[in-house]
C-alpha cells in the first residue's frame, strides 16, 4: 500500500449538491479499490493562476489515502471522463511528505 495525495479542481458552475455528489463519487471509487482514506479537505472556491476551459476559478478538493498503485490508473481514467473535473494531480508521498501532511492536518484541526 502506497501513500498518495490527489488534488482535483471542479468546475465553478456546479451547485453545492453537484460538488458533494462528485466528491462522494471519487471517494467511493477509491474505497472500492481498497483505499484507506486518511484525510479529505475542501479548500473551497479559489482563483486559478490561469484560465482553464475559459474559467478563472474552481472548487479545490484534496484526498490523502493509502492504496495499491494499480487503483490510481482507474481513478485518473474516471477524472479524464468527467467533464466536471477541470484538472487533477496525484502524487505519491515519501516519508518527508507524509510527515508534512500530518503537520498540515494537525494545523487545520487547530484552526477549525
Instruction: Give CA–CA dist 106/53, Å, rounded.
Output: 35
Q: How confident is the model at residue 83 (pLDDT cuts 50, 70, 90)?
A: very high
Domains of the chain: residue spans and CATH? 2-111 (3.30.70.60)
CB atoms near residue 90 (< 10 Å): 15
Residue pLDDT, tens place only, 19-62: 999 999 999 999 999 999 999 999 999 999 999 999 999 999 99
Mean pLDDT of 77-92: 96
Q: What percent of the chain has pLDDT over 90?
A: 87
The pTM of the whole model exceeds 0.95: no
Amino acid at each position: 500500500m502506497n501513500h498518495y495525495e490527489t488534488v482535483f479542481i471542479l468546475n465553478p458552475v456546479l451547485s453545492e449538491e453537484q460538488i458533494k455528489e462528485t466528491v462522494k463519487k471519487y471517494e467511493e471509487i477509491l474505497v472500492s479499490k481498497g483505499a484507506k482514506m486518511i484525510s479529505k479537505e475542501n479548500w473551497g472556491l479559489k482563483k486559478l493562476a490561469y484560465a482553464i476551459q475559459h474559467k478563472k476559478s474552481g472548487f479545490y478538493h484534496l484526498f490523502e489515502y493509502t492504496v495499491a498503485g494499480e487503483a490510481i490508473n482507474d481513478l485518473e481514467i474516471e477524472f479524464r471522463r468527467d467533464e466536471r473535473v477541470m484538472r487533477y494531480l496525484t502524487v505519491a508521498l515519501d516519508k518527508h511528505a507524509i510527515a508534512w501532511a500530518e503537520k498540515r492536518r494537525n494545523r487545520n484541526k487547530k484552526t477549525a
